[in-house]
Chains A and B, each alone.
Chain A
């Protein structure tokens, strides 16, 4: 057997591709579902926390900063394991899908809060003053003047965070969520061959292409003027 066919036999064996295609595809669906759920709740929560900080109530801001830092500092795997194995001990049974969704949402929210907050701070003070001087209230100014500018500045880092958190869905493997990595590694051990894992990798690439395109589209969508 020459090198080339040894290579294709290890990574791209046709009959294994055929056999594992359905399970990898279902893993892809699960990963997409978790990722979308996490991005929606994580970004919403992150934006909400950043908005709460604009009220500048020192106790609230302090709590937010502490919690956010904790979620940014801890490895997400540690959080997943704590929640998944800890909650049943206090009598709460949460399905593994929900554990992954909640934990990753909080992690994304923590990073997103910092990014949105930095965006809000970077909008010049004159924007607040101009809007307030026309009689617009605090919340009106925030929604119509400040946030549209702040969010536009944060599209690139938020897109990166959304990509990073999508990769973290692979942590679902350790608690039995049937996402891409789980299906691929199960396939790999059954088949004793790297083909299913290669298919998993390709599934991740397929998943990221639209996310990257979406990020670029949002960037142009939020651009204004022609300069």
Chain B
């Protein structure tokens, strides 16, 4: 039997802002094609953990290994590694002065130095994957929130990342638009993408997540399959959080 290799391995991750430590030694290993849900109270450090994974935040100590590359090593070209790690933000963060297609192709052209034609072909394919092929020429302010978030997903996908990080991808959306993002994420999962998702969409977590991790006060309190975490958590802190979520 072969154990699927870890795409993302975090060991002993500490992060302080000034003198306040936010992450107190987090260990987490994400296997290939796994979908992990990260839940926890506001301020528990979920976003900080995610942002350390591509060094948008500089970890204070610990190691992060993505697809065999040590992110913290001195000779690591962080811009090269970031292409392996797609990130999707709560507030979409599309470039407002560019069309959907240009949003998707910017890094292909300026980082990977692909010729315009090739970049646009890849861009069109990425937009098609999120069912927005016909919106290639639209500017962000001409798109609904759900469509903007799907363009943002396509922007990350176009670089063929090994793992995708989602930080509350649906919480800025009107309720009726949440479904289309979850549907896109489900399709990504089916296509074999490895995903680490901060979200409180419990129903989606139940059907799609392989593992749910509960964080509180900068540590992982408990982890397990969604059924176990949502219905019979071991830890009291997890239980009270789940109760608040479902109430």
A163 close to chain B: CB less than 8 A: no
B142 close to chain A: CB less than 8 A: yes
**Closest partner residue, chain A, to B103 (CB atom):** A130
Q: Out of A132, A145, A152, which one reaches B56, CB within 8 Å?
A: A132
Q: Which B residues are CB-close (under 8 A) to A144?
A: 106, 110
Main secondary structure of the interface of A (DSSP, over half): helix
Q: A145-B95, A152-B97 are in contact. Are A224 and B139 (CB under 8 A)?
A: yes
Q: A129-B93, A144-B110, A225-B140 are in contact. Are A135 and B79 (CB under 8 A)?
A: yes
Shortest distance between the CB of A124 and any CB in chain B (Å): 8
Q: Which A residues are CB-close (under 8 A) to B93?
A: 124, 126-127, 129-130
For chain A, which range describes its interface: under 10, 10 to 19, 20 to 34, or 35 or more residues?
Answer: 20 to 34
User: Contact mask B82-94 → A, CB, 8 Å, 1/0?
Assistant: 1101110101011
Q: Are B111 and A140 in contact (CB under 8 A)?
A: yes
A133 close to chain B: CB less than 8 A: yes
Q: Out of B79, B91, B107, B141, which one reaches A225, CB within 8 Å?
A: B141
B43 close to chain A: CB less than 8 A: no
B54 close to chain A: CB less than 8 A: yes
Scan residues 129-143 of chain B and give those whose CB is less than 8 A from a CB of chain A: 139-142
Between-chain CB contacts (< 8 Å), 17 pairs: A126-B93, A131-B107, A132-B56, A134-B156, A134-B159, A135-B79, A136-B106, A136-B111, A145-B106, A148-B97, A149-B97, A224-B96, A224-B98, A224-B139, A225-B139, A226-B142, A227-B141
Which 8 A-B pairs have CB atoms at the shortest separation, nearest pair first?
A225-B139, A130-B93, A134-B107, A126-B93, A133-B87, A225-B141, A227-B141, A135-B82
